[in-house]
Amino acid sequence: MAEGVAASPPPGRLQEIFDRLLARYGPQDWWPGDSPLEVAVGAILTQSASWVNVDRALRNLETAGILSVRGLREVPEAALARLVFPAGYFNAKARKIKAFIAMLDAHFEGRMENLARASGDELRRILLTTHGVGPETADAIVLYAAGQPTFVIDAYTRRIFGRLNLVPAVDTYEAWRGMMMAGLRTDAELFNEYHALLVRHGKDVCRKSTPICDACPLLDLCPAGHMESLTAGQRVATLRAP
């Protein structure tokens, strides 16, 4: 059983939710053509940043010819900070990228291929000891850069499953991750697509402040959605009352 599991959704429920989201949105194809290094650097840059701005920072690195292990190792930190400026917190993120490269050198001979060959659990453990890499970033690197099975927990996951009333008994990252991994078959492609679909659904329909519940493929499973629809119906009835 995955570490941190604290709750058990009904058997098959997590897979049913995935199937419905996939039927609605189709495959999301996250990071299909990017190199593992670009994915890892992107996972660091996306902390508290929109992907549009992260992509600008990545293109700056590419244009400067340093989107490689050697390039990122040799570029002065101040110059790196200027290049990743669009992603925000540029000085801190430059330090984090440097720390990632130092970790890659120390544990994997400076080669992303070696990183990808490590077991997911061992790679995650090493990443979590690296400056600037928290659980969400570590899992994004393990899943998207190394292709190892782990589930990325983010604000969209918590929001959507919170509204579905499918939550772990304790509100910690590891408990959420454990709940998701225990309720699904262990498959990196499934976890990859599931996370991408949750982000899409959270942006398009299950919004933080203005969810579009009537357009939700999960509405019949969602207590919060039922309440929102009922409230909306009551508002309409009130407006129509004489």
Query: If DSSP states are collapsed to H, E and C, what string results for 170-208?
Result: CCCHHHHHHHHHHCCCCCHHHHHHHHHHHHHHHHHCCCC
pLDDT digits (tens, 9 = 90+) for 18-55: 999 999 999 998 876 689 999 999 999 999 999 999 99
Percentage of residues of the chain with pLDDT beyond 70: 90
Its pTM stands at 0.90
pLDDT value of position 230: 63
The pLDDT of residue 34 is 83
CA–CA separation, 18 vs 53, rounded Å? 29
CA dihedral 225, 190, 175, 8 (to 10 degrees): 70
Task: Please state, for a pLDDT cut of 90, what percent of the chain lies above it.
Answer: 85
Compute CA distances 175 → 157, 189, 203, 205, whole Å.
13, 21, 24, 25
Question: What dihedral angle (degrees, nearest 10) is formed by the CA atoms of 148, 153, 156, 158?
Answer: 140
Superfamily of domain 9-25+33-208: Hypothetical protein; domain 2 (1.10.340.30)
Q: Which long-range contacts (CB under 8 A, 24 or more apart) does 70-76 make?
A: 72/41, 72/97, 72/98, 72/101, 73/101, 73/105, 73/110
Number of H helices, E strands in the chain: 13, 0
pLDDT tens for each residue of 186-215: 999 999 999 999 999 999 999 999 999 999
CB 144 within 8 Å of CB 114: no
Q: Where are the domains positioned within the chain?
A: 9-25+33-208
Question: Which residue has 């400076």 as its token pair?
Answer: 110
Distance (Å, whole) CA 149 – CA 187: 6
Residue 29 confidence (pLDDT): 87
